[in-house]
Structure formats: structure tokens, C-alpha cells
Structure 1
Amino acid sequence: MKRIKLKHIVFLISSALIVLVFLQLYQAFQLYEKKSEELNNHIENVLSKVAIRHEKASDLQRYTSFFGSDFSGQYKKALKQEFQNLVPVRESVSITDTIIYENGTAVKYLQITGDSYDSLSHVSAKHSVLARDISELSSYIKKGTKNQSKDKDGDNDLAFQLDKRVINSLFKKSKYINDLMINAFRSSGNITPTDRVNLAFLDSMITKTFEIEDLATKFNYAIFDEQGDVVEFPTYTDRYNLNIDTQSSKQVRMFPGNIFDKELTLHVSFPQTNIVLFNEMWLTLLVSVLLISLVVLSFYVMFKTILNQKHLAEVKSDFISNMTHEFKTPISTISLACEAMSDSDMNQTEASNLSPFIKMIDEENKRLGGLVEQILKSAVLDKGDIKMKRDELELNEIVSQVVGKAKIRISNGEIQLDQAVGLLPFIGDPVHTNNLISNLVDNAIKYSKEEVLIKIKTEKLKNGDYKFIISDKGIGIKNDHLDKIFDKLYRVPTGNVHDVKGYGLGLNYVKAIVDLQGWKINVKSKYGEGTTFTLIIKNTQDHE
């Protein structure tokens, strides 16, 4: 894959991510604006209801206080007057108190009795009707219409008409007198905002209305007069804020039905508006965040896969190039040897002269076999078909054999061997364990400098396990490559130096065998000074 194509992919992926994030943020902003507008409209409607309910409640308190004063005498006179208007009775009308139990509840009534006389027929009749006491009028106001539908005949109908006419008369009189009193106060101009507003009652009215209208949030409020000055009360509630911000608060006119008195404005501030909006939007925001995260994760996995495939393609290309070179050399050598042996002059010589060529062919053939063997090992490891034997082995013996063979290959330098005293028996696969140790020794020789200096040591640990340590004074490995040296086909870059032969299979094979046998291996290296491999071999024989 060309580098320019990879750049194009990164650009397209980044552009798609930016557009997606922008769209999600835009939708979130639009949703916030919509929810904010809905909340503001809801707050304005609720505050209007607060103002109207407060005004009605204040008027009811004034009328009720006036009507509920010592008015029983006036009430009885009104009953007599309205009774005489309904029934043609004489002046002798009497009223007595009585109690009637309705549904188990004692209710006060007044019994009105009067005599009537028909001058034409000379017939006398006594009329009697029950009317509610003045203290029961509030219950009548609530239940009178129900009683009206149930009682429509006889004395009950008469009693209902009497109650209705008396109440209407009294309300008209009380309202008229109350209006006169209010107008008198207005004309005097002595009513102050603190006289008009009961702060505790207003506070409870706001709280109750907010609960009913499902506006559950913290709030502060204050009342301002026509001059824009905050109204100060002798006592305050916890929510009354003299320093409220009128610019950010919501406002509504108090006593909207009163056009005579000075205007009062109620300002209500909601410090947790954003929390209310978030509670309504959190599910949508969560879905957006999850969507963006999922897309980002998908793009990341895809991009990482592309890089891995690109790296794998490069590694395979290097492997094929190296392997082709490794195969080409012995094939060329064998070809030259065969040409020499097939020469007519060579055939006339003695057989002893042919032995170097035969030996050359045999060595190169073994070299080709070794290359093929390593490739086959890698293929078996990839498939997972490898089966490990469990034979009794001895570490010092294996290390001595491998080191003995390796010393023959060293013309300049030495291998120092320091073995633990005694036998180091363990359970493992003889072939793969021998190959593992051989690969580590070959790797140390391959990456050594001109003068080879390798130190090999075996130890017995306190827990019974064994440690195999091999150190070289070679070219070393940079820290950037230490975590990759066990990857398949990975070779540490050597720049333009090609004298180090390999295919990236040795250490990958070592790590696979170590893992299959339950052992551990780690590496430490300092670039330019050398590398140390430490192998921990489990002494499973102690537990069997």
C-alpha cells in the first residue's frame, strides 16, 4: 500500500469523524434550545397561575374575614325577611337553633316557623323550614349544587331557595361594603406593599403551585414596586432574595385584576435551570456520546487493522526477499559444483579430486534443509498442531552440547560457560528445548561484533526452578524494538548493513516454545553494548 493512499484514508476518516461530531453537537444544541424554550414557556404559565391564584386567595381572605365576623344577627334578620317574601306569613315568625346529623356529622341548622291566614277562605296554616346556620355556609357553597339536583320538592325546595336567596343577598351586601372599604383605603393612599402581600402565604402559594405544575427545582424570588425597588418586609422567608438578578429572573405582575393600586412585580430566579434541562436531555446526550464513541472505536480498529496489514505486507516482502537470497546462495553453489564435476577434464581426474565438490554440495544441501525446516516449524506453530513431549531432561547437559557445537563456528572470540553445580533435571520436549537453546546462542553469535564475547550461566533458584542466562557484547537493541522482537517475521532494522542474516523466525519460535511449556523469558538490552536473555525453566519434576 502506497503512503499517499494511507494519507488519503486518514484524511477521509478524520473528516468523517469531524462531520459526525459537528452534527451531534448541532443536534444537541438544537435540542437544548427547544427544551429551554419549552421550560421558559412552562415557567411563564406557572407564574401566571401563581399570580391569579394568589389574587383570588387574597380576595377570598378579605371577603371571608368580613363575612365571617359577628354577623349572626344580620343573618337571622335576612332569613325572616326572605321567609316572609317566599311564604305569605304574618309578622309572628320565630327562629330556633337545632342540630341535625348528616352522615354521622352534626350540622347546625335554624328552624324558621310562621303562620299564614287566607282571608278569603278563612284557612290558617303553619309553615316551617330548615336553613343552615351561618357557620355552615362554607359547606353549602361547596355542596349546594349537589343538593339542588337531589331536593326539588316541598319543604326541601323551599329551604334551598331560602338558603340561596339569603346567601346571595348577604354576599351582595358584604361585597358592596367590602368594595366601599377598599375604595376608601385606595383614596386614602395608605396601603403599602407589605400590607397587601402576606409573604409567608405567597411563599407557600408558589411552592404548592410549582409542585402541582411539576416544576421541581430550586428558586428564589423578590417583589419590586413601580419604581423598580425591591420591597422589604419585616420578616423574610428563606427564598426571599433582596439581591436577586432581575435580568436573568422571570417576572409576573401581581394582582393582575387590580387596576387601581400601585403595580407590584414578582421576580423569580431559577439557579438550577441547566440541571433541569440536563435531566430532560441526558438520555439523548448519552445516546449521542455512545454513538460517537462507537464510530470512533470502529474507525480506530479499522485504521489499526490497515496499519497492521501494511506492516505485515512489508514484513512478508522483506521475508521473501531474504529467503530468496538465502535459497539462491546454496543453489548457486550446488550448480557451480555440478558444472565443475560434469566438466570432461574433471572426469579424467582421480575421485579424490571430486570430494571437495561433493562435500560442498552436501553442506549446501543441509543448509537448504535447515531453511525449509525453519519455515515448516513456523507453519506448524501458526496452525497450533505442535505437540510437546514430556521427557526427563537435564539442563547442564543440553547447554554443554549446544555451546560445544557453537564454539566451532567462532574464529575470533569465546563463549564463557558458568554452570550450576550438580544436575538440573526437568520435564520438557528434547527436540524443541534443544532448538530453543540453540536459537538463543545462534542469535547471540549473529549479532555480536567482530570479536565475539558471550557469557552463558545456569542457576538453580530457591523455589526449585532453573535460570538460563545468555549475555553478549554485540550491537544491542533499541528500546523501541524490544517489545517487538518476538513477533513473527520481525527483524530489528540495521539500516544499510546487510551482513546480519535472518528471517524473523528464530525468536518467534523461541517465544512460542517457552509459552507452550509454561516457562518465562525476558530480554534486556542497551543499544551498542549488548543484550541479555533470561529464561526461567519450571522444574515440574519436583511436583510429579
Structure 2
Amino acid sequence: MRIFRIKHIVFLTSVALLVLVSLQLYQVFQLYDKKSEEFNTHINNILGKIAIRHEKASDLQRYSAFFGKDFRGQYKQALKQEFQNLLPVKESVSIRDTFIYEDGRRVKYLQITGETYDSISHLSANHSVLVRDISEMASYIRKGGITSSADSSNIAYQLDRRVMNSLFKKSKYINDIMISVFHDFNQVTANDRINLAFLDSIVAQTFEEEELDTKYSYVIYDENNEAVEFPSYTDKYNLKIIKEKAERIKLFPGNVFDEELMLYVYFPQRNFVLFHEIWPALTVSFLLVILIVLSFYVLFRAVIEERKLAEAKNDLISNMTHEFKTPISTISLACEAMKDGDMNKGDMSSVSPFITMIEEENKRLQGLVDQILRSAILDRGKFNLKKTQLELNEIVSNGVTKAKMRISNGTLKMELEPGMLPFMGDAVHTSNIIANLIDNAIKYSKETIDILVKTQKLSNGDYKFSVIDKGIGIKHEHIDKIFDKLYRVPTGNVHNVKGYGLGLNYVKTIVEKSEWDIHAYSKYGEGTTFEVIIRNVERK
């Protein structure tokens, strides 16, 4: 049930992690698309400015040269005169009866009054004419060319045919201009009409004004979808640009003759520019994803460690139960034997072996309890080393002597460094280190025990003692875990190896507390070597 729950936790947290990472990636891609769209819009606006500036400047240069060549002298003066004749004016004529005395006679006349107003100069002029009759007025109109209109009170006259003649002459001149311009566009090629250096300067200046600081290159394509070639090229003009990856704009957007000339601008560092704009958000998202991943990693690690710890505790309980059963059964048998009436009648020699058995099993139980208590103390970290002056050869000899009493089918030898090897250490814990290492070598020996304990003085003044066995050895994948608490090399459900995963963990803890070093070397099937380096040697 517990394993089932752990699997569900791992599955749910994995799904949550995947969703969170996916959301972060989605937001990053959305931001990239938004910045890409803004970049494209900005580039299109800039290219529009470039096209308009280039077109206006080119038209100004072209027509300045054209007017300077074609409209000089009399032709230019005539055009100027015709334009002046077309200035907007307002003219009106009124007719009324009047009487004039001639030689004492009262003679009837028609008074024709004309008024002209110039809307540009804001000047006005009046003129009056007297005629005797309608026929004389008609003759005057024919001579003056005034168009008239009349009602019951007056006749109004507007612009005459001279204006129409002026318009006709003007249209003739404009027609001549258009024919000449069309002839130029029809005869001159694209590379003759385009000044590449001038275009290059406009592009560079516009990019600088828009603060677009990135590498670029451009090319012009004609109506045949071919790159326009020039006699000489600028650094930015590149005929090898891939059009599909470039931004484009009509080079002459207001000119029907150059409608098919397209300007393509390529930005090789486009993605770099976009990432440069989104890197703060990208960095935050990346750090957030890393934090989430690390958090889930720590969570998974904790769950896995919890599972391993639970399994190790169950294994410990199983092994401890097995180990406790043996001495308890032995003591029970000894007690039953001592209760036997026939034994009690004899002498003490028959009872003595059972008493010795009880004492040994009691010590064994005490040792098991001590290991558990020491492990609990080490877990709480509430212990201090009581350092005193010790001698390494002496303390190793004592440990080997006690261990030999438990060996009946093998050898336990010593190789001690000559002389005294004094150092400062906790006597109890140092003795326990030696005892645990020798005990571990005995447990993992083969049928015939072969163990060597050595002491050495190193060249730098430190001491080293080693416990070398020719036992079953440890596989490479387990060698780094043997000092972990409750860790036992897997042997299945067979209890042929004694141990609880506490001894080596205790050794490691005391060695580190003493500021020493411990190393383990093993070859599976050939044996294991433990080395303890006693550093910071203090002498009297």
C-alpha cells in the first residue's frame, strides 16, 4: 500500500512538473511571437520611410535636371506667361439706361459697367462704356470677346475664350513633358535610374535614426524577378540574399513605371535581436523552471530516501529479530537445563558451561543494544569526544586480541609499525572503530578466515592502520554506499551474513568527528581493505 501511494505521488508530481514547464515554455514562445511581430511591423515602417525618402529624392534630382534642360529661354518664358494668364479672376458686366444731353438734346444711351477682381492679388478694377443701341453693344462684345448672360435687370459676363486658349496651350506643354518623361523611363534601365551609393546612404541614415543597430544586407529585384546588377557594389548590397528570409518593400511606391522594382532587406541577426529583447523574461522563466525542477528533484529524492529508509528499517527489524531469537533461545535452553533435577544433584562443573553460555549470550544482547543506542546518539549529534593520549599499536593489539577469541577457523595477524605511535583520540570510540572494522572483516570472510591488521607511519607524520581481509568482497556499485546508515549489501532474504547496517556508519561518523579519513577498497570475490588515516597527530 505504501509503495502504491509513493508511485501515485511521483506520478502526480511528474504531471504537475510537466504542466508547469509547458506553461513556461508556452509563455516564452508567445512572447517571442509578439516581439517578432513587433519587429516585423517596425521594420516595415522603416522600409516604408526608406522607399518614400528615396523616391522623393530621386524625383527631385530627376525633375531638377529635366526642367533645367528643357525649360529655358523662350520656352520657359512662354510657360510662365501661360501660367500667369491662368490666375483665377472674377469678371462681371452690368447694363443700365442713362441719358446724356448733346447740344441741348436729351439722348438715351446704354451704360455698360465692367468689374474685375483678382482672388490672388486681391486687386479690383472698374471700367464703363456708353453705347447708343444693342447693335453697337454687340459689336463691342465681339471686339472684347466677353461672354454675357442677362436677366430682366442686368447681363453678367464671365471669363472669355482666352482662358480656354490658355488652358489648351498649358495642356500642350504638359503633354510634351509627359512624353519626354515616359521616353526616359522607357529607355533607361533600372541600374541607370538607381544610384546605389545614394540608396545605401538613405538606408544607413534611416536605420541610425530609428536606432536599429544590427547587421543587414539588401538587394533589388526587377519585374523579371532577377537581382539588379550594378557596375560597382556597396558593402551592404548582396546578390545572394534568400528572398524568403528577407523583408521587402516597393522601391518606388508612388511611381507606376517602377512598380515592379522591389527592395529586399535581410537581417542575419534577427533572432539575436529578438532574444536580446526578451532575455530578461526568458531568464526569469528559465530560473523559475530550474527552481521548479530542483524542487521536484529534492521532493523525489526525499520520497525515494524515505522509501529506502523504510525498507532499511524493515530489514533491520527483521535481522534484529532474527539475531535476538538466537541468544534468547540459547538462554532459554540453558535455563531449562539448569532446572533439571538430575543436573542439580551433580557438582557445579556440569552447570558451569551453561552459566558461561548465558553470560556470552547476555553480552551479545548487550552489544546489540549498545549498537542501537550509539546509532541513536549519533543521529541526534549529542556526543563529544573525550580525547586523551593514546598509542596506536597498543589499542590495535587489544582489539585484535579480543577478536581472536571469536575465530576458530582461520587466522588474524598483525603487522605493527616499530616504535611508539602516540596520538590524541577518544579511547572508547577509537577501540570501537577497530573492533567494528575487524568484526566486519570476520562477517564477510569466506569459510576460512584470513585477516591482516597493519599500522604504519606515513612520510608526512600521519598514522594509518588497515584491516585487510580475503573475504567475499564488495561489488563496485555498492562500495560508495557501505557507510550509509542501515545500508547492507543485498543478499536477498538469506540471513547468512550478520549485520544491521550500523557498524560502518558509526565508524564513518567517529572518523569524521575526529577529523580523520577513512577509505574502502574492494575487489569482488577477492577481499576488502579498510584504511583509517589519523591526521593532526598531537604528541607530548
**Superposed CA offset, 1:208-237 (max 9, x none):** 122223433322222333333333333222
> Which residue identity does 1:448 align to in structure 2?
S
| Residue 465 of structure 1, aligned match among 459, 462, 476 | 462
> Equivalent residue for 1:411?
408
Change (3 A) 1:214 1:372: same
Q: Secondary structure at the match of 2:358?
A: helix
1:282 lines up with 2:282 in the alignment: no
1:494 lines up with 2:491 in the alignment: yes
- For residues 248-397 of structure 1, what are the structure 2 equivalents within 5 Å? 248-259=245-256, 263-342=260-339, 353-397=350-394
1:238 lines up with 2:235 in the alignment: yes
Give the conservation status (yes or no) of the 8 Å contact 1:470–1:532. Answer: yes
TM-score w.r.t. the length of structure 2 is 0.74
Q: CA deviation at 1:315?
A: 0.8
> Which residue identity does 1:197 align to in structure 2?
I
Change (3 A) 1:246 1:326: closer
Q: CA deviation at 1:395?
A: 1.5
Distance 1:249 1:401 in 2: 87
> Which residue identity does 2:527 align to in structure 1?
G
Give the conservation status (yes or no) of the 8 Å contact 2:319–2:495. Answer: no
> Equivalent residue for 2:502?
505
Give the conservation status (yes or no) of the 8 Å contact 1:185–1:191. Answer: no
Distance 2:183 2:529 in 1: 106
1:226 lines up with 2:223 in the alignment: yes
Change (3 A) 1:62 1:312: same
Give the conservation status (yes or no) of the 8 Å contact 1:425–1:539. Answer: no
Q: CA deviation at 1:282?
A: 2.3
- For residues 118-267 of structure 1, what are the structure 2 equivalents within 5 Å? 181=177, 183-187=179-183, 189-259=186-256, 263-267=260-264
Distance 1:502 1:224 in 2: 85
Q: Secondary structure at the match of 1:298?
A: helix
> Equivalent residue for 1:87?
none
Q: Secondary structure at the match of 2:538?
A: helix
Q: CA deviation at 1:541?
A: 2.5
**Superposed CA offset, 1:373-405 (max 9, x none):** 222221222222222122221122222222222
Change (3 A) 1:181 1:517: same
Change (3 A) 1:382 1:193: same
Change (3 A) 1:177 1:277: farther
> Which residue identity does 2:56 align to in structure 1?
K
Distance 2:259 2:393 in 1: 108
**Superposed CA offset, 1:472-531 (max 9, x none):** 111111111111111112111223431222211111111122112222111111111111
Identity, % of aligned positions: 61
**Superposed CA offset, 1:389-438 (max 9, x none):** 22221122222222222222221211222222222222211111112111
> Equivalent residue for 1:96?
none
Q: Secondary structure at the match of 2:243?
A: coil
TM-score w.r.t. the length of structure 1 is 0.74
> Equivalent residue for 1:45?
45
Distance 1:473 1:187 in 2: 107
Q: CA deviation at 1:16?
A: 3.2
Q: Pairwise CA RMSD of aligned residues? A: 3.3
Give the conservation status (yes or no) of the 8 Å contact 2:436–2:504. Answer: yes
5+ residue gaps in structure 1?
83-175
Change (3 A) 1:39 1:177: farther
**Superposed CA offset, 1:136-159 (max 9, x none):** xxxxxxxxxxxxxxxxxxxxxxxx
Q: Secondary structure at the match of 2:515?
A: coil
Q: Secondary structure at the match of 1:372?
A: helix
Give the conservation status (yes or no) of the 8 Å contact 2:441–2:471. Answer: yes
Give the conservation status (yes or no) of the 8 Å contact 2:250–2:259. Answer: no
**Superposed CA offset, 1:100-119 (max 9, x none):** xxxxxxxxxxxxxxxxxxxx
Q: CA deviation at 1:311?
A: 0.5
- For residues 112-123 of structure 1, what are the structure 2 equivalents within 5 Å? none
Q: Secondary structure at the match of 2:199?
A: helix
Give the conservation status (yes or no) of the 8 Å contact 1:458–1:466. Answer: yes
1:398 lines up with 2:411 in the alignment: no
| Residue 526 of structure 1, aligned match among 502, 508, 523 | 523
> Which residue identity does 1:34 align to in structure 2?
K
Give the conservation status (yes or no) of the 8 Å contact 1:186–1:261. Answer: no
Distance 2:177 2:436 in 1: 113
Q: CA deviation at 1:306?
A: 0.7
Give the conservation status (yes or no) of the 8 Å contact 2:455–2:466. Answer: yes
Give the count of matched residue pairs. Answer: 448
Distance 1:280 1:177 in 2: 56
Change (3 A) 1:395 1:196: same
Distance 1:446 1:504 in 2: 12
> Equivalent residue for 1:110?
none
Distance 1:221 1:462 in 2: 74
Change (3 A) 1:401 1:250: closer
> Equivalent residue for 2:17?
17
Give the conservation status (yes or no) of the 8 Å contact 2:24–2:285. Answer: yes
> Equivalent residue for 1:142?
none
Distance 2:466 2:175 in 1: 109
Change (3 A) 1:361 1:282: same
Q: CA deviation at 1:308?
A: 0.3
Change (3 A) 1:298 1:262: closer
Q: Secondary structure at the match of 1:234?
A: coil
Change (3 A) 1:419 1:244: closer
Q: CA deviation at 1:303?
A: 0.8
Change (3 A) 1:269 1:489: closer
5+ residue gaps in structure 2?
85-171
Give the conservation status (yes or no) of the 8 Å contact 2:518–2:531. Answer: yes
Distance 1:439 1:354 in 2: 33
> Equivalent residue for 1:34?
34
Give the conservation status (yes or no) of the 8 Å contact 1:225–1:262. Answer: no
> Which residue identity does 1:42 align to in structure 2?
H
Q: CA deviation at 1:339?
A: 4.1
> Which residue identity does 1:32 align to in structure 2?
Y
**Superposed CA offset, 1:457-482 (max 9, x none):** 22222222222122111111111111
Distance 1:508 1:191 in 2: 94
Change (3 A) 1:317 1:269: same
Q: CA deviation at 1:280?
A: 2.3
Distance 1:447 1:294 in 2: 44
